[in-house]
Amino acid sequence: MNSIENLESRFFSSYQKIERKIGERDRIKKEIDEINSELTDIEKKRKIYSEAKRILEIAYEKLRVSTMQGIENLVNRALKTIYDDLTFRIELDTERNKNIAKPVVRKEGSGIYFEGNPLDTSGGTVSQIISLALRISILEKSINPKFEGPLILDEPLTFLDEGSKKLIGEFLKKVSEILGRQIILITHDRILMEIGDKIFYVKIKEGLSKIEEISDLSEIDEI
């Protein structure tokens, strides 16, 4: 009997071990299934994020190109009213995986007229036109929602000669036409006053500023 009991005891012990192993196997299998399910979800999310990133990159590129083209078009349409042989472009230099915009002006038949920041150029009227046009176009293209109301410029042409002031005055008229936006030019310069469709004169009376519309510059004595 002892041998039979021992055999039964050993069998029962082995059976329990097998049951524990089966339970452990089932637990591990369940964990593997859960991990595989999580991996499947992660892969689905990865594909979604990857596709979203691709779509965002395409949208960003389209927006970048559209913005650059809008800026180029505005500057060129303004330039062409004065200089038929000049063309403005924004060229991109890739440096350390960053796109660096570089304004370039080319002259027909003679290559680059100048490149770089117009403010750093001693090109006089051309650089002033481009600098002013860039400020206006970036303001128009970069603000969301788009700002409403007139564009106010305070003495933007102080250091230009008479001929250049007249040219840039015509440029500002063209910009106003292109944008469909009123431009208010604050100036003490009679040449620029003559360019405006309307002239409003601000004078101080008894310590208060008074605004008067005038039709003839001869009405202004102190300028």
CB under 8 Å, gap of 24 or more: what pairs does 99-106 form?
A: 101/68, 103/130, 103/134, 105/130
Q: Are 212 and 201 in contact (CB under 8 A)?
A: yes
Q: What is the pLDDT of residue 39?
A: 92
Q: What is the pLDDT of residue 10?
A: 77
User: Which one, of 95, 105, 181, 168, lies nearest residue 137 by Cα?
Assistant: 181
Which residues partner with 205 through β-bridges? 208
Q: What is the pLDDT of residue 162?
A: 80
Q: What is the pLDDT of residue 171?
A: 80
- For the chain, the maximum distance between any two Cα atoms, rounded to a whole number of angstroms, is 136
Q: What is the pLDDT of residue 124?
A: 64
User: Which one, of 64, 68, 80, 69, lies nearest residue 177 by Cα?
Assistant: 80
pTM of the model: 0.60
Q: Whose structure tokens read 């924004």?
A: 90
Q: What is the pLDDT of residue 215?
A: 80
- Quick one: 148-222 is in which CATH superfamily? P-loop containing nucleotide triphosphate hydrolases (3.40.50.300)
pLDDT per residue of the chain (223 residues) written in tens, 0 to 9: 567 777 777 777 887 888 888 888 889 999 999 999 999 999 999 999 999 999 988 988 888 888 888 888 888 887 777 778 888 888 877 666 667 778 888 887 766 666 666 655 545 677 777 878 888 887 777 666 677 788 888 887 776 778 778 888 888 888 888 788 888 888 888 888 888 888 888 888 888 888 888 887 776 765 5
The domain limits of the chain are 1-145, 148-222
Q: What is the pLDDT of residue 191?
A: 84
Spatial distance between the Cα atoms of 181 and 155, rounded to a whole number of angstroms:
18
